[in-house]
C-alpha cells in the first residue's frame, strides 16, 4: 500500500478497506490544526505546548527568492527555532544540505514529478525529524488498515 518513504502509492483495498482507511485517517487527523502565514504568528498564536507536534515546510533555501522580500531566509529562522526546541516533535522539510541538525534523523524522498515549473524533479528533498520524534520510517500510521 505505501512505499518505505512517503504516502500512499496505490490503493487496492476494495470499498470496505477504503472506508476503514479513511476512518483511520480521520481519527489520526482529528486533533490536527493546519495553519499558514507568518511562521512566528502561527507558533505564537496556535502553539499548544510541549505535547504539540509541528510540521514545518518553509520555502526551501534555493527557492527563498520566490517568497522573500530580501530579509533573512525564513527556512534558516525556522531551523534555528527548531534546534532550540528539539525537545518537541518537529518535522522540518527542505533539500539535503539545507540545515545542520545534529542528532536529528533524516528521511530522503522524491516527488517523482516536476516541481516549481522546472524541467526536472527535485530529488534531494528530505524531512528532518527532531530527536523527540519516532525514528523516520519506524512507525506506519496505517498498518492497522493495510491489506
Q: Length of the chain in residues, anyone? A: 147
pLDDT per position as a tens digit, 75-91: 889 999 999 999 888 99
Can you give the residue ranges of every domain in the chain?
14-145
Is the pTM value of this prediction over 0.75?
A: no
Q: Output the pLDDT for position 5.
A: 43
Q: Output the pLDDT for position 142.
A: 52
- pLDDT value at 119 more than 70: no
Question: Using the 8-state DSSP alphabet, how is residue 123 labeled?
Answer: T
Higher pLDDT: 43 or 116? It is: 43
Helix residue ranges per DSSP H, the chain: 14-28, 39-46, 74-84
Cell numbers 536529528 correspond to what residue?
A: 104
Q: Output the pLDDT for position 88.
A: 87
* Range 103-112, long-range pairs (CB < 8 A, 24+ positions): 103/131, 104/128, 104/129, 104/130, 104/131, 105/129, 105/133, 105/135, 105/136, 106/136, 107/5, 107/6, 107/136, 107/137, 108/5, 109/5, 109/6
Amino acid at each position: 500500500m505505501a512505499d518505505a518513504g512517503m504516502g500512499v502509492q496505490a490503493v487496492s483495498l476494495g470499498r470496505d478497506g477504503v472506508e476503514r482507511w479513511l476512518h483511520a485517517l480521520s481519527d489520526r487527523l482529528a486533533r490536527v490544526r493546519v495553519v499558514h502565514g507568518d511562521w512566528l504568528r502561527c507558533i505564537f498564536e496556535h502553539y499548544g505546548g510541549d505535547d504539540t507536534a509541528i510540521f514545518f515546510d518553509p520555502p526551501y533555501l534555493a527557492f527563498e527568492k520566490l517568497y522573500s522580500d530580501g530579509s533573512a531566509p525564513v527556512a534558516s529562522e525556522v531551523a534555528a527555532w527548531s534546534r532550540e526546541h528539539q525537545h518537541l516533535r518537529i518535522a522540518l522539510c527542505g533539500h539535503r544540505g539545507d540545515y545542520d541538525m545534529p542528532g536529528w534523523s533524516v528521511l530522503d524522498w522524491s516527488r517523482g514529478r516536476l516541481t516549481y515549473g522546472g524541467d526536472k524533479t527535485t530529488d534531494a528533498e528530505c524531512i528532518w525529524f527532531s530527536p523527540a520524534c519516532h525514528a523516520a520510517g519506524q512507525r506506519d500510521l496505517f498498518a492497522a488498515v493495510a491489506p
